[in-house]
Structure 1
Amino acid sequence: MPISRSTSLLALAVALAGAAPAFAADPAPPSNEAGTSAPDDAIIVTGTRAIGITAAESAAPIKLVSSEAISHVGQPNLNQVLTQLVPSFTAQAFGGDAANLTLSAALRGLNPNQTLVLVNGKRRHGTANLQVLSSAFQGGAAPDLDYITPASVDHIEVLTDGASAQYGSDAIAGVINIILKKKAGGQFSATGGQYYDGDGETASTSLNYGITNDRGYLNLTAFYRFHNFSQRGQQDIRVLDPVTNAPTVTGALAADYASMVDYPRINPIVGDARSHFGVGSFNAGFDATDNLSFYAFGTVGYRDAKAYENVRLPNRLVRTAVLGVDPGTVSAAVYNATAAANPAFIFSRTGFRPQEAFKETDYSATGGAKGSVAGWTWDVSSTFGLDQARVYTLNSANRNLFIDTGSTPTDFYDGKFENFEWTSNLDLTHSFGDVALLAAGAEYRLNSYTISAGDPFSYYKTGAQSFPGYSPAASGGHQRHNWAVYADLALTPVEGLKLDGAVRYEDYSDFGNKTTWKITGRYDFNDMIAIRGTASTGFRAPTLAESFYTQVNVSPNSSFVQLAANSPAAKILGIPDLKPETSTNFSGGFVFRPVSRLTVTIDAFQIRLKNRIVGSSQINSLTVGDAVFRAAQASGYTLETFANSGIVAFVNGPTTRTRGVDIVASYDADLGSMGRASFTLSGAYNKTTLRAVGSNPGPIAALGQSVFDISQQSYLTDAAPKLKLIGGVNWNVGPFSVTARETYYTKTSAIYNDGGGLYTPTRIKSAGITDLEIGYKLTPSLTLSAGANNLFDKNPEAEPYLAAFGETAGGGVVYNQPLTYSPYGINGGYYYGRVTFDF
């Protein structure tokens, strides 16, 4: 059952806990008016409980991103900000079905769920929109960074180090800590732009205003953005033969095929969604006394979005319902007479282009108090988060409903899903002079995930075309709670040596307990060179969505039920309940400061991940009544009678090892009469290899199939670039400013599962992406800027035709689309203009 609000309030009342550490001192905000990143002497609060540590002094690798750097990224969302400024960060270019409405991102080539997101040091709730379809981001349900607007951010601290012992679940690849603005004053900004191809039009406005006095601060931000569709689909081989370039049908159907929208580029699915998006946020604090302060911050946001699905070809509704045979084989007279007598036939005569629509609301609020007593500093807080999404299928039809009743709606309400999280924190620290710092704390967290059923027409039999609704069998609420305690001891036994050890114990109501630890050390030989290293263990608890999400995924030629791993239906195929992933992390590196204003860091790392939670292969139903067919029926769904139909599920599968190196170099130069310039060069190398594939459940093995095939393996090991390099400069001279970045990605590859046991290897070549922005201050308060992302319009390759691999269309459908796992997107160049007014 869904949790009640009274249950939530009771949990808050009894909680004394703290997952994310509360920090004893407020961070000094980075200020780097000329730079593309925050200065190395900025105080950090991520990855340490010590007070007054700078980025250059950190024992763990920290990448800082300042508000100044954020302001020079043309596309107004944090995914693009971090993609362009942080080399270890990779953003999703395109998602299938609902995933295209909430794009994900990840650190170090791992999964989005393996990065912890904090806001002002407090855990941010995840999205309710689970990434279901196969991709490098499959299973992602991490926090949606879009709801933290760039205008509200003072700076971002990206910790590229395992930190589960400090922060709990999810902090395997690292931590992104977003620090909100506190400063006084205001800024209004308006941005407009579009892709070089003339679509994807974007318009946004933001307003940030803050007031401060000697007792407190209040900072408010309002943001709105409109983004239009883009379309990158190419010739569809269902309507034109890829070898002869001739129409694939003749007779009565040929004219209808030729009259489809944008023929032969009929399929609009590959491209951006259209969205209206708005967020309001606040950040406030008040010092009641010298030893007692109160603080609060939060966001409320709304997204109204639509994304195209695979186009359905003409007469999809009536091949068996009206004519009894394929309409391409009957005379034009009979064909046209049938069309005239049946409105649904007319609707489908030139095909239809279904859309999936999203109406999403997202809420987050944190309140807390902190102070000091008897030499101890304390921080107690509670954070509430809720993401809700209502889902619709538009401009579609339920074919089975039409066959059975002679009519069908064209718009469907598919249902609602929501993710709820309430975390309460207590953190204590005590300093023993310059020698030691002791920290301890506790946490209580309550989670729930709920799916509500859609209207009956949306899930009747095989459901609405492109995205069936959630049935009563798939709906329901699930919840869990966990509590944790931790201790952390930081030592400075001799001058130049810093040591830090942490241990954390967590107990979950659904799968038991986990203990993690971390040891960190750094030694400064002198002011110019230091060495540092860490060893730690970590874990990630499976999300409730991964454990319980049930739905059927359909395409024009396939139908696969997403089995909930923790359901009785999954047990028919021997799929066990999900358990946590576990990790062992090692890192070691150097910090060089050979001259003033130049810092270079080099850190190598290894992450070994066991029991990784992955999406399974497509397990095909070979005959009606086999174990796959029975499992699908037990989940409440009916498979369409395709050759390519069956089930998929999330499973604990492989063991992987990720090794890599992170490099960051920055230099601020005073050029005298030529102004000031900040130069950065950063890079991330990551290579993931499979160390073990994992077990194959007996009932699946008995069918001669594997729960983890070569396609799924390729998404783990090869779909993210192994090397990403970013070189940037921000140059200010008089009223002019120039920001330039060059980002280099090495090749990526993936193996597509085309169905029927056929696989297509694909590759995206290495590429350099250029970003350029020029700004001019008309007055001290008014700045005009213009720029381009992907200045030279680099595009990923198109997916090969089936014929190129000796395959036939009967084995699967390949639409000749851009390769959607491209690390630099699928849309090519984007140009923009911006007006900024400070007051």
Structure 2
Amino acid sequence: MTSSIAVFAQDGAPQAAAEDSGDAIIVTGTRITGMKAADSPAPIQILGADTLARTGSPDLMQSLAQQLPSIQAQAFGSDLQAHTLQMKLRGLSPNHTLILVNGKRRHGTANVSVAGGPYGGSAAPDISFILPESIEHVEVLQDGAAAQYGTDAIAGVINFIQKRADHGGSINATGGRYYDQGGKTYAIGGNIGLAPFEGAYLNIAAQKKHKGFSFRGDINPQSINYAENLGFPAVATLPGYPYTNRIIGDPHIDQTVVSYNAGYEFGEYELYSFGSYGHKKAAAYENTRNPKVIVSKAGVPFYPAGFQPQERIDETDYSFTGGFKGTLGDTTFDLASTYGKDVVEVYVYHSGNAQLYADTGFTPTTFHNGDFFNTQWSNTLDLTHQFDVGLSEPLNVAAGLEFRHETYGIRAGDPASYYGGGAQSFFGYSPNDAGTYKRDNFSQYLDISFKPTEAWLVDGAVRHEHYSDFGDTTVFKLTSRYDFSDTFALRGTASTGFRAPTLAEGGYSGLNVGPGFVGGVLPPASAAAAALGFGGLGPEKSTNFSTGIVFNPAPNFTITLDAYQITIRNRIMTSTAFSGFTGNRCPAGYLNPSTDKPNEACLPFDADLYAIYNQPAVFNAVQAALGGAIPGYVILADNGIDRNTEGGISVQSFVNGVKMRTRGIDLVMNYSTGLGDMGKLDLTFTGNYNANKVLGINALPSALYSSTANPDLTRLVDASSEVELEHSTPRFRGTFNAFWQMDKLSVNLRESYYSRVYTLETARAAGPDFKAGDLIQVPVKASFLTDLEVGYQIAEPIKISIGANNLFNKYPTERSKAYIRSVELKNGERGYSTSKYPTISPFGINGGYYYARVNVTF
């Protein structure tokens, strides 16, 4: 059975199933039972299942991002992040948005992002394991809600409400691909409602999804050079030659998920349970390696043509909830327990271990690099009671308890994956990286809502939480709404938040040791990080303010306008990479392998730059993290490393990096009208203005060198990451949606506008007002994108639809040919193949996508 909430709604916005859309009952953002969307004191947006389906994507995250301008889906992730792309609300971290299913907290992914910028450290739930087929509607609370739901709900809450139907069902089949190359997608799924016995319901949903590789890079000059000039003609046989470096694009994904939502109602009580089980297998290309990377002692290549390694994951994700709720007199109760787990097994295919092959004459080509796991067990008791105190409506008191136990861990990979220089493209996790981290959290909340007058609603909440590793915190929220008339209301909120770092942010460890380099991430609380002065992570603290209006100037016409400000102190992110030595700035006591001269003789720069790139504290910390010694081949053996420009020791850590402020405005206008014999038309405009500003960067630990001549090179957070925090989210995004339906025909047209975004990169050639080596802006210019879908009900149960997202095949602005790419091409650098488009593009890098869908309802 299809969803009863068929069109996008904002507070009092029209819906297909109700003459007055304000009759929609919400459960997010309020503890009042039976509150209507039209009466919400906080901005909440509702998306029905049919609305999500009209995006044409079987990916739930992409469907949300296309509909809601305040949500941005990650377009591309490097390394393991390619398999678990995330979304951000209001330009903040994915960790700042609380994900609920049927009002219960969803567990996070085990695959933490170690990238810089706004996605760094993200370990939010992977919503690809939440099925569109299982959803009745989605409630998106765009307001700080830490005091109501938990101290990580800083940007807002997304609550996926599942279907409860005990009869009927649907089957959906979707297929599509990108206009230009790759991304072939198919998904088949459906749901069925059953009534196992009187008073019981069971709704089962399932989906099998496949997505193929895409490629949006360019030719690989390095492969051409090896094939035509360096005596390795076999390189020309690599798949895709000369486009051999295929890292830029979508991964290959096969995913199967099954979920259920069940309950048994008897009298005033209900026993309920819901859960899901999913399995994902995915593969992503890594940078192509040339034939000289893995050679025998006699100099014979292991791969005469070079090789194209792939990172692969085998992921299992499941979650189960059981609960009992009901009414005792004037008191409602809800007692529930939820357990969720995510396990990610990491592999490298079509690769090899160069050091192992050089030492033994043997190397595997497939490696098990290790595993990540994340678990969450939460137990909640929620109570509400109404008291008649002589006001216009009863005083509503809600209170509750929550106990949560969480674990995160890393398991070591095969010894061959981390021996010596490790597996090419992805160094395995060693026993030094492995470990398990645990945390308990106990919280209590109190929420009081009342109406001093019939037109005035006041809601206050306070929440206390105790973390076994971070101690205690108390947060507050005050919300109010005043209805001046049936057509105009004013509302506002003020709240505080406190987010403890995820266990993944605190425990992730990954040091890669290769020929000529060591790099990676140190756990913030490790001895090595402590030696650098980091000393572990502290919590983030936030304050939120918002104010807005609800205006109904005419029947079926609603306007809402909400302004907000969010300030986050000690925001957690990935630090700058700090160097033990870089390139030819060899460490003290060693000779430059290129010149056999002491380190002082190989300095092309001044002493200040030498200190920036050759910090003994970093060298010593990495040495300790590796068990007391850095392998000699890292420092002395050239292994094809050009010591004038490449190699060295460089490490990062998750840190409390910045103080940040976000200001913005959300605007929603919705109008629905009948057209007589011409059917019905629903029009919606949603706009978001969002400005992120870094107010300050925290000080560098005292153990690290702080340059007075060039402070920008020794900041805790580098300039590129700062700019991405501020400018990788569109300052303005607007979406106009028109849905027209007449008899059996329906048309959905969506026009989206994305304002300019940019990041910083190093100029490779001088420009009119900068020199080579300076940081310059790499933009994605403002763009309009058009989505179109046409559907027809060919029979009572069967509807077919065809459509296109990005109908006119719009691509992001190419990176500068004059100042970046031309030099890469001239020098024959492999990087030329991966630098065609900025991967921060808010609408992706793949161009247009067309699809067809068949829906059978019964």
TM-score normalised by length of structure 1: 0.90
Amino acid at match of 2:261: N
User: Given the alignment of the two structures, is residue 491 of structure 1 paired with residue 450 of structure 2, yes or no?
Assistant: yes
User: Given the alignment of the two structures, is residue 267 of structure 1 paired with residue 245 of structure 2, yes or no?
Assistant: yes
What is the match of residue 779 of structure 1? Answer: 795
The Cα shift of 1:813 comes to: 4.4
The Cα shift of 1:285 comes to: 1.3
Q: Quick one: higher RCO (CA 8 Å, sep 6+), 1 or 2?
A: 1
Does the 8 Å CA contact 2:685/2:737 hold for their aligned counterparts?
A: yes
**Structure-to-structure mapping, 1:553-702, within 5 angstroms:** 559-622=518-581, 623-624=586-587, 626-636=616-626, 640-641=634-635, 642-643=646-647, 645-702=649-706
User: Given the alignment of the two structures, is residue 431 of structure 1 paired with residue 431 of structure 2, yes or no?
Assistant: no
User: Given the alignment of the two structures, is residue 817 of structure 1 paired with residue 831 of structure 2, yes or no?
Assistant: no
Does the 8 Å CA contact 2:5/2:47 hold for their aligned counterparts?
A: no
| Corresponding residue to 2:813 among 794, 797, 805 | 797
The Cα shift of 1:315 comes to: 1.6
Does the 8 Å CA contact 1:471/1:636 hold for their aligned counterparts?
A: no
Does the 8 Å CA contact 1:711/1:751 hold for their aligned counterparts?
A: yes
The Cα shift of 1:351 comes to: 1.4
Give the Cα separation in 1 of the matches to 2:235 and 2:829.
22
Inter-CA distance 267–677: structure 2 relative to 1 (3 Å threshold): same
The Cα shift of 1:248 comes to: 8.0
**Structure-to-structure mapping, 1:464-475, within 5 angstroms:** 464-475=423-434
The Cα shift of 1:559 comes to: 4.8
What is the match of residue 22 of structure 1? Answer: none
What is the match of residue 375 of structure 2? Answer: 420
Does the 8 Å CA contact 1:602/1:662 hold for their aligned counterparts?
A: yes
Structure 1's unaligned 5+ residue stretches are 1-27, 241-246, 324-337, 340-344
What is the match of residue 69 of structure 2? Answer: 87
Give the Cα separation in 2 of the matches to 1:725 and 1:214.
48
Inter-CA distance 807–651: structure 2 relative to 1 (3 Å threshold): farther
What is the match of residue 152 of structure 1? Answer: 134
| Corresponding residue to 2:725 among 713, 716, 734 | 716
Does the 8 Å CA contact 2:3/2:49 hold for their aligned counterparts?
A: no
What is the match of residue 351 of structure 2? Answer: 396
What is the match of residue 750 of structure 1? Answer: 759
Structure 1 residues 368-377 or 806-815, which shifts more?
A: 806-815
Q: Summarize deviations over 1:571-592 as a string: whole Å, max 9, x none.
A: 1211121111110000000000
Does the 8 Å CA contact 1:744/1:769 hold for their aligned counterparts?
A: yes
Amino acid at match of 1:798: E
Inter-CA distance 180–555: structure 2 relative to 1 (3 Å threshold): farther
Inter-CA distance 557–811: structure 2 relative to 1 (3 Å threshold): farther
Inter-CA distance 556–769: structure 2 relative to 1 (3 Å threshold): farther
What is the match of residue 43 of structure 2? Answer: 61
Does the 8 Å CA contact 1:540/1:580 hold for their aligned counterparts?
A: yes
The Cα shift of 1:816 comes to: 2.4
| Corresponding residue to 1:707 among 706, 716, 721 | 716
Does the 8 Å CA contact 1:453/1:474 hold for their aligned counterparts?
A: yes
What is the match of residue 469 of structure 2? Answer: 510
Cα RMSD, aligned residues only? 2.4
What is the match of residue 638 of structure 2? Answer: none
| Corresponding residue to 1:228 among 195, 198, 212 | 212
* Local SS of the residue matching 2:535: coil
The Cα shift of 1:37 comes to: 7.7
The Cα shift of 1:33 comes to: 6.5
Inter-CA distance 132–375: structure 2 relative to 1 (3 Å threshold): same
What is the match of residue 361 of structure 1? Answer: 316
* Local SS of the residue matching 1:627: helix
Does the 8 Å CA contact 1:771/1:788 hold for their aligned counterparts?
A: yes
What is the match of residue 276 of structure 1? Answer: 254
Does the 8 Å CA contact 1:358/1:392 hold for their aligned counterparts?
A: yes
Structure 1 residues 208-217 or 611-620, which shifts more?
A: 208-217
Does the 8 Å CA contact 2:237/2:305 hold for their aligned counterparts?
A: yes
Q: Summarize deviations over 1:607-656 as a string: whole Å, max 9, x none.
A: 00000001011112224472222222333385845435410110001101
Q: Summarize deviations over 1:364-416 as a string: whole Å, max 9, x none.
A: 01110011224211111001000001110110111111222222111100111
Structure 1 residues 757-766 or 371-380, which shifts more?
A: 757-766
Amino acid at match of 2:338: T
| Corresponding residue to 1:730 among 739, 745, 748 | 739
Give the Cα separation in 2 of the matches to 1:822 and 1:765.
9
Amino acid at match of 1:55: A
* Local SS of the residue matching 2:148: helix
* Local SS of the residue matching 2:118: coil
Does the 8 Å CA contact 2:70/2:90 hold for their aligned counterparts?
A: yes
**Structure-to-structure mapping, 1:327-476, within 5 angstroms:** 339=300, 345=301, 347-433=302-388, 434-476=393-435
The Cα shift of 1:734 comes to: 1.3
Give the Cα separation in 2 of the matches to 1:322 and 1:758.
41
User: Given the alignment of the two structures, is residue 297 of structure 1 paired with residue 252 of structure 2, yes or no?
Assistant: no
Amino acid at match of 2:620: R
Give the Cα separation in 2 of the matches to 1:629 and 1:189.
57
The Cα shift of 1:256 comes to: 4.8
Inter-CA distance 223–178: structure 2 relative to 1 (3 Å threshold): same
Does the 8 Å CA contact 1:518/1:537 hold for their aligned counterparts?
A: yes
Give the Cα separation in 2 of the matches to 1:190 and 1:401.
48
Give the Cα separation in 2 of the matches to 1:265 and 1:250.
15
TM-score normalised by length of structure 2: 0.88
User: Given the alignment of the two structures, is residue 191 of structure 1 paired with residue 174 of structure 2, yes or no?
Assistant: yes
The Cα shift of 1:72 comes to: 1.0
Give the Cα separation in 2 of the matches to 1:812 and 1:714.
26
Give the Cα separation in 2 of the matches to 1:141 and 1:737.
39
What is the match of residue 640 of structure 2? Answer: none
The Cα shift of 1:665 comes to: 1.1
User: Given the alignment of the two structures, is residue 832 of structure 1 paired with residue 851 of structure 2, yes or no?
Assistant: yes
* Local SS of the residue matching 2:704: helix
**Structure-to-structure mapping, 1:167-246, within 5 angstroms:** 167-183=149-165, 184-212=167-195, 215-239=199-223
The Cα shift of 1:350 comes to: 1.6
Does the 8 Å CA contact 1:37/1:66 hold for their aligned counterparts?
A: no
Give the Cα separation in 2 of the matches to 1:170 and 1:469.
32
What is the match of residue 79 of structure 2? Answer: 97
* Local SS of the residue matching 1:310: coil
Amino acid at match of 2:725: L
The Cα shift of 1:523 comes to: 0.2
Give the Cα separation in 1 of the matches to 2:406 and 2:557.
45
Give the Cα separation in 1 of the matches to 2:144 and 2:517.
40
Structure 2's unaligned 5+ residue stretches are 16-20, 589-615, 636-645, 708-712, 765-771
Q: Summarize deviations over 1:518-540 as a string: whole Å, max 9, x none.
A: 00000000000000000000121
Paired residue total: 783
What is the match of residue 3 of structure 1? Answer: none
Amino acid at match of 1:828: G
User: Given the alignment of the two structures, is residue 310 of structure 1 paired with residue 292 of structure 2, yes or no?
Assistant: no
The Cα shift of 1:672 comes to: 0.7
Amino acid at match of 1:281: S
The Cα shift of 1:249 comes to: 8.7
The Cα shift of 1:251 comes to: 4.5
Inter-CA distance 406–37: structure 2 relative to 1 (3 Å threshold): farther
What is the match of residue 493 of structure 2? Answer: 534
